[in-house]
Amino acid sequence: MPRMNEKLRYWMLVLPALAVMIFFYIWPVLNIWGISVTEPATGLGNYTKMFDSNAVRVSFMLTFRIAAITTVVCLLLGYILAYTISNFATKARPLMLGLVLLPFWVSVLIRSFAWIVLLGRSGLVNDALMDTGLIATPIRFMHNETGVLIAMVHVMLPFAVLPMLTNMRGIPGSYMKAARGLGASEWRAFRDVYFPQTLPGVFSGGLLVFVLSLGFYITPALLGGGRVMMISEYITYQIQEFLNWGLGAALSVALLVATAIILFVAGRFVNLRKTFLERN
Amino acid sequence: MPRSPLRIFFATGSWAILAFLVLPILVVIPVSLTDTAFIGLPKEHLSLQHFDTFLHSPEWLQATWTSIWIGIIVAAASTALGTAFCIGCWFLSDRAATIARWVMIVPILVPPVVQSLGFYKFWVTLGLIDTHFGVILAHTLLALPYVTISVFAALTNLDRRIPQAARNLGAPLILAIRTVILPSIRPGMITGAIFAFIVSFDEIVGVLFLTVRRVETLPKMIWEGIQESVDPVIAAVATILVILTLLVTAAAVARSYAATKPHPS
Amino acid sequence: MDTSDHHFQSDLAEIAAEKYKAGTLSRRGFLSAMGALGLVPLLGNRALAQASEVVVCNWGGQASDILRDLLGKAFEEETGIPVRVDGAGPSAGKVRAMVESGAVVWDVCDSGAGSAIVMNGAGVIQDIDYSIVDKSKVLEGTALPFAVGNYLFSYAMAYNPTMLPGGAPQSWADVWNVKDFPGMRTFRKSVRGQLEAAAQAMGIAKEDVYEFLDDDGIKAAIAKFRELRDNIIVWGSGSDSQNLFLQGEVAMGNIYSTRGFLLREQMEPGTFKMTYDGALLQPGMWVVPKNNPAGTETAMKFIATVQDPQLQAEWFVAIGNGPINPAAAALVPAELSEWNPNTPENVAKQVIYNDEWYGKNQVSAEELYIDALIG
């Protein structure tokens, strides 16, 4: 059978999905660039407006700060979980895994709703604290950055745990045992032998959490009290309230470029293929 | 095994973190049983009134049904497209195929608001705004990355020589795929289809941009409900979904216990 | 040349008309098939029964029920055309999406002056036909070419006395006084109706507010928000502001008087107060989206019907929408008139909305306002 013909057949399998993706997804997303330089007038007006705007700058900084804090907290908590699941928990392992994955399947919207119920001024947490007499006036957990961070960590934690678990699964326990056998304390063995080997998983989980956090909309919109306006909410606000598609599009392009730069830079330290393409 | 401080720290920490992950979700259950008209714990007795409201509300039921059938179509469409795509890439296994696979996962990386903006403009041109087909198409695109990732993962475990042998014996490509490849990657396809369904069933940002009034999905009703008035009916809906998730998770955990039991550990 | 152009145009129109017909037919076929499957029953009806009903869109909740039961019923009695009310919230973004999609569902929308300007700029709403709608039945200055007043409301100061043991705030200056009046405040997530409050908090008399709010005045007023921002929760929609009070999230704020009117009954006695002192009085606006399904004339007729003074007065009693028709004020029950933003006493306490100022400054002020609040 001629080789070329064979290849063509395989491409016939690839093509339908690829064509649909390019035509209905990639093309419209690239077109946002077009909107940003044509609405309301042709030119770079939206970009000068964007760079001149202090509000945009604040919103971008806020977005990066929240994404960074979310990432760090998720990595810390996620590491503890991943380490326990892969090294200590033998009997409890399936249960723990199930519990990590459980929130994964519950929609972000419902989880945000649950946080609203819990964290409100007359929410369950405040009620409980007041009833037990621990506090006299309600604490503000919600309608501020704290609320957004709590809910975002909750959403992103499984995304941090899974890559680390995959990575730790590949680390043989014998290294640690050897180090211990040579007289290292458990802590030293962990720090000097085990931890460095888990770094690829940590980076991979961190990148995933960070990139996904940059685009968050639902959680900050519902728990931020309007003042924690991350860039996605800023875009939506410009478009829904003021029909300001040009500026919304310019902001979108900026967010996309920022994401691309992060991926490009991270590509030097993180195995992007393992992080995104070969995720389990 | 001796209980070292390090171990105790990790173990207690882990259970605390798991509680943080799971307990907040469960809070919707008692709230849904409240006998009051506002969000809170039941005051005098437990009440199923909010479930009753849900089950007798044509709007909620309609939206639930819409989300289910859209999810099923999306799962079917994206699994079919995605599986063919992965098999093609797997056979090709060249640079172009890898690039194509990267193209397929772009929707994971693009922020939801940004992609919805792109959809909106193009859907206007195509006349797809506020149509079920428009939502199905958008959701299929968003589900494709998850399908391709899980199907391709299943394919990498497959021995390349088996289908090749079938082909060498003269079996047409389609036959080789149907009889040799598909049966062995079925778990990956099922996982992909479930992912695709969930992606569609939970999707909100795209729906907010692409629909106005004719298409109502469950997430859109919940979103509007939270914005309009924090109503315990949402807690009832959330409880139903959370309990379904709990049951499925419990079944999965039980299965993996059953599977590990015969092996002495 | 001229004639050929003309022909060309009429030709185009004919083709367009034919395409439209064909489109309608295939759409109907598609819809009735879907309807038969039980997938979109509501939708099927609507598309088949063009112009046999009017769909009015407002912002949901009780306001929708009352619009349907009061104004809707009156219109049906007069014309035989039933009115359906959709509470989806006709934001500028949604109206634009609907018009651009070519599948307009709404005939008449409850909008505001600021949004109407935005929508008119985007070319998605129709001009009002003042041969059907009566200009003399609305407050002077609320009959714009592309929108017409439907009711009056205010951005008013509201508070929860039980959360303020130190006493009730008397003025906007008190709202800015965090020391003596602790607690969270709520302001709108848009500059509309907000800078007027800040200006008064700085001691500007209500008559001079817009004069004060030139470029420097805007900056100064916005600086007031920056100063207060750690005590602010922002409301996006009217129902948002209602929830913030209902759930005790805020102690005071600047909210729609119509929402205050509802909270007066929803909240426990003694937990809610509202004052028109220093409030901003402004008109709500009817707008008609382009290509509305019931046709321009029917939409205009609906707007004209609900201008009736008796209806306007009843509408106020039901939901607190101040009558736009000056003739209705006399028909409002005396015991409720303190809640009517449009009585002479209440008007005298308020700043009157200045659409010229908004036309000129809204966009730039909005940007500064958001900048002051976020972060």
* pLDDT tens per residue across span C91-125: 898 899 889 878 898 999 999 888 898 899 899 99
Q: How far apart are CA C321 and CA C257, in angstroms?
A: 8
Containing H/E element for B197?
helix B182-202
Which 8-state DSSP code applies to residue C289?
B
Which residues between 131 and 160 in chain A have a beta carbon less than 8 angstroms from any beta carbon of chain C? Answer: 140, 143
User: Which pLDDT belongs to residue B256?
Assistant: 85
Establish if B190 touches chain A: CB-CB under 8 angstroms: no
Name the domain boundary from B56, B84, B103. B56
Contact A81/A100 with Cβ under 8 angstroms? yes
Judged by CB atoms closer than 8 Å, whether chains meet at B130 and C97 is answered as yes
Domain match, B66 and B178 both: yes
Q: How far apart are CA C209 and CA C211, in angstroms?
A: 5
B264 in any annotated domain? no
Which residues between 27 and 66 in chain A have a beta carbon less than 8 angstroms from any beta carbon of chain B? Answer: 27-32, 35
Domain match, B91 and B154 both: yes
Q: Which homologous superfamily does the CATH classification assign to the domain defined by A53-277?
A: MetI-like (1.10.3720.10)
* pLDDT tens per residue across span B149-164: 999 999 998 888 888 8
**ipTM of the prediction:** 0.92
Q: Do domains C11-152+285-328 and C153-283+331-373 have the same CATH topology?
A: yes
Residue B251's contacts (CB-CB under 8 Å, 6 or more residues apart) are none
What proportion of chain C, given as a percentage, has pLDDT over 70? 86
Structure tokens at A33: 């660039």
Which residues between 223 and 262 in chain A have a beta carbon less than 8 angstroms from any beta carbon of chain B? Answer: 232, 235-236, 239, 245, 248-249, 252, 255-256, 259
Q: What count of other Cβ atoms lies within 10 Å of the Cβ of residue B178?
A: 12
Q: How far apart are CA B21 and CA B182, in angstroms?
A: 36
CA quadruple A27, A28, A29, A33: dihedral, nearest 10? 90
Domain match, B19 and B123 both: no
Structure tokens at C361: 């400054």
Query: With bands split at pLDDT 50, 70 and 90, how would you rate the model's confidence at C343?
Result: confident
Q: Which residues are registered as beta bridge partners of B49?
A: none
Q: Does the pLDDT of residue C25 top 50, yes or no?
A: no
Q: How far apart are CA A238 and CA A251, in angstroms?
A: 10
Domain ranges of chain A: 53-277
- Of the candidates C93, C115, C248, the beta carbon closest to that of A239 is on C93
Establish if B149 touches chain A: CB-CB under 8 angstroms: yes
Domain match, B45 and B108 both: no
Q: Does the pLDDT of residue C14 top 70, yes or no?
A: no
Q: Does the pLDDT of residue C131 top 50, yes or no?
A: yes
Query: With bands split at pLDDT 50, 70 and 90, how would you rate the model's confidence at C49?
Result: very low
Q: Determine whether C176 is exposed, middle or buried from the number of CB atoms within 10 Å of its CB (0-12, 13-18, 19+).
A: buried
Judged by CB atoms closer than 8 Å, whether chains meet at C61 and B228 is answered as yes
Domain ranges of chain C: 11-152+285-328, 153-283+331-373
Best mutation target among A59, A241, A251 (most C Cβ atoms within 10 Å) is A241
Establish if A147 touches chain B: CB-CB under 8 angstroms: no
Q: How far apart are CA B161 and CA A104, in angstroms?
A: 37
* pLDDT tens per residue across span C196-237: 999 999 999 999 999 999 999 999 999 999 999 999 999 988
* pLDDT tens per residue across span B33-73: 988 877 788 888 899 999 999 999 999 999 999 999 999 99
B103 in any annotated domain? yes
| Residue A194, SS3 per DSSP | helix
Provide the residue type at C309 as one letter. P
Which residues between 161 and 220 in chain A have a beta carbon less than 8 angstroms from any beta carbon of chain B? Answer: 186-187, 190, 211, 214-215, 217-218
Q: Give the domain range for residue B87.
A: 58-229
User: Which pLDDT belongs to residue B258?
Assistant: 85
Find the mean pLDDT for residues C297-311.
95
User: Which pLDDT belongs to residue C159?
Assistant: 97
Domain match, B141 and B19 both: no
Range picked from A226-230, B2-6, C9-13, C129-133 for highest mean pLDDT:
C129-133
Establish if A106 touches chain C: CB-CB under 8 angstroms: no
The count of C-alpha atoms lying within 13 angstroms of the C-alpha of C319, restricted to the half-sphere facing its C-beta, is: 22
Q: How far apart are CA B60 and CA B221, in angstroms?
A: 7
Q: How far apart are CA C177 and CA C194, in angstroms?
A: 16
Question: How does strand C147-159 pair with strand C273-287?
Answer: antiparallel
Which 8-state DSSP code applies to residue C311?
H
Domain match, B64 and B1 both: no
Q: Which of A181-185, A259-263, B219-223, C300-304 has the lowest mean pLDDT?
A: A181-185
Q: Which residues are registered as beta bridge partners of C143?
A: C148
Q: Does the pLDDT of residue C358 top 50, yes or no?
A: yes
pLDDT higher at C147 or B265: C147
- Torsions phi, psi of B128, nearest 5? -105, 0
Q: How far apart are CA C20 and CA C49, in angstroms?
A: 16
Q: How far apart are CA A44 and CA C56, in angstroms?
A: 39
Residue-wise over B70-94: b if at least 16 C-beta within 10 A, else e? Answer: bbebbbebbbbbbbbbbbbbbbbee
Contact C360/A45 with Cβ under 8 angstroms? no
Q: What is the CATH number of the domain that holds B86?
A: 1.10.3720.10
Contact C284/C315 with Cβ under 8 angstroms? no
Q: How far apart are CA A158 and CA B194, in angstroms?
A: 18
Domain match, B38 and B122 both: no
Q: How far apart are CA C67 and CA C284, in angstroms?
A: 14
Domain match, B163 and B35 both: no
List of chain C residues whose C-beta atoms are within 8 Å of the C-beta of residue A241: 91-93, 115, 118, 190
Domain match, B37 and B63 both: no
Judged by CB atoms closer than 8 Å, whether chains meet at B204 and A218 is answered as yes
CATH fold group of domain C153-283+331-373: D-Maltodextrin-Binding Protein; domain 2 (3.40.190)
Q: Distance from A261 to chain B by nearest Cα, in Å? A: 12
Domain match, B123 and B25 both: no
Max alpha carbon distance in chain A (Å)?
Answer: 82
Which residue stretches of C37-72 are H helix? 41-48, 62-66
List of chain B residues whose C-beta atoms are within 8 Å of the C-beta of residue C106: 213
Q: Report the domain count for chain B.
A: 2
Q: Does the pLDDT of residue C36 top 80, yes or no?
A: no
Contact B207/A218 with Cβ under 8 angstroms? no
CATH for the stretch C11-152+285-328: 3.40.190.10
* pLDDT tens per residue across span B68-127: 999 999 999 999 999 999 999 999 999 999 999 999 999 999 999 999 999 999 999 899
Nearest of A179, A10, A168, A147 to residue A80 by alpha carbon: A168
Find the mean pLDDT for residues B224-236.
83
Judged by CB atoms closer than 8 Å, whether chains meet at C94 and B38 is answered as no
Establish if B164 touches chain A: CB-CB under 8 angstroms: no
C interface residues, B as partner, C-beta within 8 Å: 34, 39-40, 42-43, 60-61, 86-88, 94, 97-98, 100-103, 105-106, 236-237, 239-240, 242-243, 246-247
Which 8-state DSSP code applies to residue C125?
B
- Torsions phi, psi of C49, nearest 5? -105, 60
Domain match, B15 and B76 both: no
Containing H/E element for B62?
helix B58-92
Provide the residue type at C153 as one letter. F
Q: Please list the ranges in chain A whose pLDDT falls under 50.
A: 1-2
Establish if A122 touches chain B: CB-CB under 8 angstroms: yes
Q: How far apart are CA C76 and CA C71, in angstroms?
A: 9
Mean pLDDT, rounded, of chain C: 85
Q: How far apart are CA C208 and CA B87, in angstroms?
A: 73
- Of the candidates C39, C101, C242, the beta carbon closest to that of B129 is on C101
User: Which pLDDT belongs to residue C62?
Assistant: 80
User: Which pLDDT belongs to residue B261?
Assistant: 60
Residues making up chain A, counted from first to last? 280
Nearest of A67, A22, A53 to residue A250 by alpha carbon: A53
- Torsions phi, psi of A157, nearest 5? -55, -50
List all chains that touch chain C, counting a touch as 3 or more CB pairs closer than 8 Å: A, B
Which residues between 340 and 359 in chain C have a beta carbon less than 8 angstroms from any beta carbon of chain A? Answer: none
Domain match, B212 and B140 both: yes
B245 in any annotated domain? no
The count of C-alpha atoms lying within 13 angstroms of the C-alpha of C276, restricted to the half-sphere facing its C-beta, is: 25
Q: Distance from C43 to chain B by nearest Cα, in Å? A: 7
What does the angle CA B78 – CA B79 – CA B82 come to, to the nearest 5 degrees?
A: 75
The count of C-alpha atoms lying within 13 angstroms of the C-alpha of A128, restricted to the half-sphere facing its C-beta, is: 8
